[in-house]
Amino acid sequence: MKAISNIDVSIHRKAQDGRFSFENCGKSYDIRTSSVPTVNGESVVMRILDKEADGRSYGELGTEGYSGRVGVFELLKVTSDLVRMKQHEIEDKVIYDYIRKTQPDYSDIYENAKKLIREGTTTSEEVMRVLGEVNIDSGRR
């Protein structure tokens, strides 16, 4: 995804944005991508934009879109200390413990997913489909 979006595939420790276009069934689409470093590697987010949409709703475009879906996120403040730790290939567990100590408001994607499951906002099956096998009790793979 990074390569076709013209994002530098050798960079993993800084956020990058890219884009590409394609046609399907006679319609043109722009795909906007963002690659963001996370504790567990990288996350890539894509936005699909119909070039001919002109502000029409998903229903008017003939699709349901993301109606009823919930995003599960992990937001991390990337500090110079974290960058140095990654550059020196410090063990992920050590980095994770450091984040826990220095960013008390941080909650990883697994903790956020568990919270949404407990609230009844999503199901464990949906979380496992998207994130892979997750230990719901510990929140880690």
Which of 86 and 70 is assigned the larger pLDDT? 86
Q: Please give the helix or strand (H or E) that residue 129 lies within, else none.
A: helix 124-131
Does the domain at 1-66 match CATH 3.30.450.90? Answer given as: yes
Which of 114 and 55 is assigned the larger pLDDT? 114
pLDDT, mean over the chain: 76
Tell me where in the chain the CATH 3.30.450.90 domain(s) lie: 1-66
Between the ranges 27-31, 36-40, 74-78, 80-84, where is the mean pLDDT highest? Answer: 80-84
Q: Which amino acid is at 15?
A: A
Q: What is the pLDDT of residue 56?
A: 55
Q: Judge contact between 20 and 5, C-beta under 8 A.
A: yes
pLDDT band at residue 139, thresholds of 50, 70 and 90?
A: very low
Distance CA 99, CA 95 (A): 6
Q: Judge contact between 112 and 43, C-beta under 8 A.
A: no
